[in-house]
Amino acid sequence: MILGYVGKFLEVNLSTERIKEVKFDDAILKDYVGGRGLAAKILWNRLGSKWEKIDPLGSENVLLFLTGPLTGYFPGGRICVSGKSPQSNGIVGSTVGGEFGVELRCAGYDGIIITGEAEKPVYLFVKDSNFEVRDAKHIWGKDAKQTVKIITKECRELLKKRFPLYGEWKEPAILYIGPAGENKVRTAVVAAKWAHAAGYGGYGAVMGSKNLKAVAVKGTGPLPPVANMKEVERLIQVVNDNAYENELWRRWGTGAGGYEFGAKTSSEPVRNWQDEWHDEKSFGVDQFENRVWIKQSWSDFGCPTCCLKIAMVKNGKFKGAITDNPDYEMQAYLGPNLGIFSPEENVFLSSLTDDLGLCGIQTGNVMGFAAELFQRGILTKKDLDDIELRWGDVEAFANLAKKIAFREGIGDLLAGGTYRAALKIGKMKNVDVLQYAVQSKGISIGAHGIRSGKDYPEIISYACSVQGGDHTSTTGLPLSESELMEIFNDSGVYCNFNSFGIPRNTRFNFYKAVTGLELTREEWCNTKALRILQLQRAMLLLGGPDLKWNPKVHDDNPPRFYERLLSGPYKGKTADKAAVEEYKKRYYKAVGWDKNGIPKSENLRKLGLQDVDKALEKLR
Amino acid sequence: MAKKKEPIWIARELSKCSGCRKCEIACSLFHEKRIWPEASRIRVFMLVPGADFPHFCAQCEDYPCVKSCPVNALSISNETGAVLVNTETCIACGQCINACPGRIPHMHPNGKYILICDLCNGDPQCVKVCREGGWNVLKKISRGDRPYKLYARTPEETTRDLTLKMYGEKAEEFL
């Protein structure tokens, strides 16, 4: 057995309520590590042969909550959620911060594998090796804050009753969905702690399709033993010290972005990306800090950075709306992208999407898309159920968000996410509206544009990514500096924010101190990470059943990114189509894909992926 | 010659707690040589998100827990003022939990004895990590003649206060 792992996974079949413990061979854990990597392997093994037929929202999908060997050790606890994605029809390693991963490992499991679907709403409660499927009828329909409250109370009462001599019980860690997930909205999140979310992938809808409202865990054991605890302690200090040096990062988190990425790098979505520049100082972080932040540092397990803040609107119409920061992505997508430039309104909309269990990024994206169609007269007030969806009208957007979460009227259509909604509206109106859809492979593009060339993503970062528009896993060259490192973060399962600026090999040293296994950057990039990437690519291209991606068409930027920036210091700049094609060629070559973007036979075989090679034969 | 230790106290400013749980990590590493949140003598509660706070011994002036122990497994350190648990004699009966106005002691997850903050023999590890990170929820000070018992509050009581402090009139919805 490899050190740093518990060595057991809990598998629950919700159809039969059968529970079993699952183990993986050391060889699999060595190659796929955990989290995102292991998710790719598990899903391929279980569903690969029938991938195209698997409905992501059907009972045959497999839902995964996976930790990695570094969870709880590397500062900044997270958990990785995965399964066949109802957005991309491939797989996304979607991570969310909090204590869930640590609690799960302390309970004696490296992960939870969910199959089947419950007959009626349930939630799972895991207490060490005790486990139960509980009725969730009374929580179904509840918003995030009430869901957390009720489950916290119920679990603590149960623990008190069962272990009367223990003393006071802390809260369990909880992952849950809101109404959006229950209604299988494809932009629904798996959430934690009111405002944390695994958004990319749409796994909230997968939980909803399985009638699974929440999973709560309380573990009383220690984290699994490591190879060299002294070295782990030393490396924790290295990560901490690095974070402590970064004063403004700690003070503002990504909250500075709402102004900065607009004004400075001109890469922030403004009115559905019609522009990427604004110099609206009323959206500055100082105003968030002074007007709405009621907690300056809020953190997940072991985190030295505390990029999270808590915000509450103090007065006016939206008084009492509570969320975290909002972080940059929420600021952008539920702010300038909708023509909103007020911290209070931004907090209100963020709080609302938290409560409904919607992904702020992707719901902000689809609402911006709808608003542009309204601006252009393609969608009318009548189409929008009497909502005048004007830029900056926060209440109109709030109404629309509710309609999406509950799939009412136009909300039902938009609940498919931007790409699927664009296909339907295009047909309905007989207009090409895909030109206004800013997404990649069914996944909305994060709030970091490529046109100015001044932000971190490159011109193929989203176009060729196995996770579509996910801004936390972008492609580029050299491979060793790009998403292959993100695959490590998401497979070791810890917060990538705490890896910014650490010495180059710290994460691999960390892996060695925990597992006792030597792993070089070269080995990771040339074999292991590449293997995970190819698996993700294969499942993405196999896709189905409702949509398939053709790399010749879909390994590209949204049309908007080939339009010129309208204003600001980088006015007139755009992504150059020829440059994109040229970069794509180099990228395909580096990653071992043929000219059509299909992983090459010889490369797959070299990585031991013979079955993947066979499955892709029909695409060649 | 080593300086003679004097009784200390950990001053606490709970509303500043970020919930990072580095205190739990430091405490369990020191006492158990593992990262083991439930075996930490200081535990961060988050019964309402945002209202995170560390729950740990306040060393009441009259030490009701010590008095309640039926087997004299608890004693008061002359050096630091901490409550010390004799893990050999403790029978894990839980009397001290009921005697504590804040229900602060809790059982070691191994079920064999009670856990109470021992002030790390005068050099509390939780304080170090909290100050190193600049959160400064915890501060080591000399023990004087103060009403320390005020700080022995149950998790529910403290949660209520902090939630009110943070969320004002919205608080009731979350409690």
Structural domains for chain A: 9-218 (3.60.9.10), 246-444 (1.10.569.10)
Pick from A72, A166, A322: CB nearest B35: A72
End-to-end CA distance of chain A: 40
pLDDT greater than 90 at residue B93: yes
Structural domains for chain B: 8-174 (3.30.70.20)
- With H, G, I as helix, E, B as strand and everything else as coil, classify residue A558: coil
Contact predicate A459/A580, CB 8 Å: yes
Q: What is the pLDDT of residue A370?
A: 98
CB contact burial B18-32 (16+ within 10 A = b; e otherwise): bbbbbbbbbbbbbbb
Beta carbons within 10 angstroms of residue A518's beta carbon: 9
In sequence order, what are the beta bridge partners of B115?
A: B106
| Interface touch A171/B45, C-beta < 8 Å | yes
Structure tokens at A262: 């607009």
Q: What is the pLDDT of residue B5?
A: 78
Q: What is the pLDDT of residue B2?
A: 55
Residue whose entry in the numeric block shows the structure tokens 């895909």: A434
Q: Which residues of B touch A302 (CB under 8 A)?
A: 20-22, 25
Q: What is the pLDDT of residue A170?
A: 98
Residue B113 in contact with partner chain A when CB distance is under 8 A = no
Q: Would you call A114 exposed, middle or buried from its count of C-beta atoms within 10 A (0-12, 13-18, 19+)? A: buried
- The sign one gets for the Cα dihedral A529, A535, A541, A547 is negative
Contact predicate A347/A323, CB 8 Å: yes
Judging by DSSP bridges, how do beta strands A9-13 and A111-115 pair with one another?
parallel
Q: Cα–Cα distance between A284 and A297 in angstroms, integer?
A: 18
pLDDT confidence tier of residue A175, bands split at 50, 70 and 90: very high
| Interface touch B133/A72, C-beta < 8 Å | no
Q: What pLDDT digit, counting tens, does each position of A391-433 carry?
A: 999 999 999 999 999 999 999 999 999 999 999 999 999 999 9
Contact predicate A380/A217, CB 8 Å: no
Q: What is the pLDDT of residue A504?
A: 86
Residue whose entry in the numeric block shows the structure tokens 């149950």: B154
Pick from B45, B114, B134: CB nearest A170: B45
- With H, G, I as helix, E, B as strand and everything else as coil, classify residue A595: coil
Q: What pLDDT digit, counting tens, does each position of B101-130 carry?
A: 999 999 999 999 999 999 999 999 999 999
Structure tokens at A585: 């060629």
**Among candidate residues A39, A40, A88, the one with its CA nearest the CA of residue A469:** A88
Q: How many CA atoms lie within 13 A of A418 on its CB side?
A: 32
- With H, G, I as helix, E, B as strand and everything else as coil, classify residue A507: helix
pLDDT greater than 80 at residue A609: yes
Q: Which residues contact B115 (CB under 8 A, 6 or more apart)?
A: B39, B40, B41, B85, B105, B106, B107, B108
Residue B18 in contact with partner chain A when CB distance is under 8 A = yes
Mean pLDDT for A81-104 is: 98
| Interface touch A222/B34, C-beta < 8 Å | yes
Q: Would you call A438 exposed, middle or buried from its count of C-beta atoms within 10 A (0-12, 13-18, 19+)? A: buried
Q: What pLDDT digit, counting tens, does each position of B47-80 carry?
A: 999 999 999 999 999 999 999 999 999 999 999 9
Residues 273-302, chain A, touching B (beta carbon < 8 A) = 294-295, 297-302
> What ipTM was assigned to the predicted interfaces of this complex?
0.97
| Interface touch A320/B32, C-beta < 8 Å | no
pLDDT greater than 90 at residue A136: yes
pLDDT confidence tier of residue A239, bands split at 50, 70 and 90: very high
Length of chain A: 620
Q: Which residues contact A605 (CB under 8 A, 6 or more apart)?
A: A613
Residues 130-149, chain B, touching A (beta carbon < 8 A) = 132-135
Q: Which residues of B touch A300 (CB under 8 A)?
A: 19-20
Q: Which amino acid is at A256?
A: A
Judging by DSSP bridges, how do beta strands A212-218 and A122-127 pair with one another?
parallel
pLDDT greater than 60 at residue B1: no
Length of chain B: 175
| Interface touch A222/B43, C-beta < 8 Å | no
Q: Cα–Cα distance between A556 and A463 in angstroms, integer?
A: 4
End-to-end CA distance of chain B: 53
Average pLDDT, chain A: 97
Contact predicate A508/A64, CB 8 Å: no
**Among candidate residues A409, A357, A353, A354, the one with its CA nearest the CA of residue A381:** A409
Q: What is the DSSP letter of A133?
A: E
Residue A140 in contact with partner chain B when CB distance is under 8 A = no
Cα of A157 to nearest chain B Cα, Å: 12
Residue A144 in contact with partner chain B when CB distance is under 8 A = no
Q: Cα–Cα distance between B15 and A513 in angstroms, integer?
A: 35
Distances (CA, A) of B164 to A319, A323, B161, B173: 15, 16, 5, 10
Q: Which residues of B touch A106 (CB under 8 A)?
A: 36-38
Q: What pLDDT digit, counting tens, does each position of A567-588 carry?
A: 999 999 999 999 999 999 999 9
**Among candidate residues A473, A404, A382, the one with its CA nearest the CA of residue A88:** A473
Q: Cα–Cα distance between A384 and A363 in angstroms, integer?
A: 16
Kindly report the pTM of this predicted structure. 0.98
Cα of B161 to nearest chain A Cα, Å: 15
Structure tokens at A499: 């890896």
DSSP string spanning chain B? -PPPP--EEEEE-GGG-----HHHHHHHHHHHSS--GGG-SSEEE-SSTT--EEE-----TT-HHHHH-TT--EEE-TTT--EEE-TTT-----HHHHHSTT---EE-TTSSSEE---GGGG--HHHHHHHHTT---EEEEE--S--GGGG---HHHHHHHHHHHHHGGGGGGG-
Q: How many helices (H) and strands (E) does chain A have?
A: 24, 17
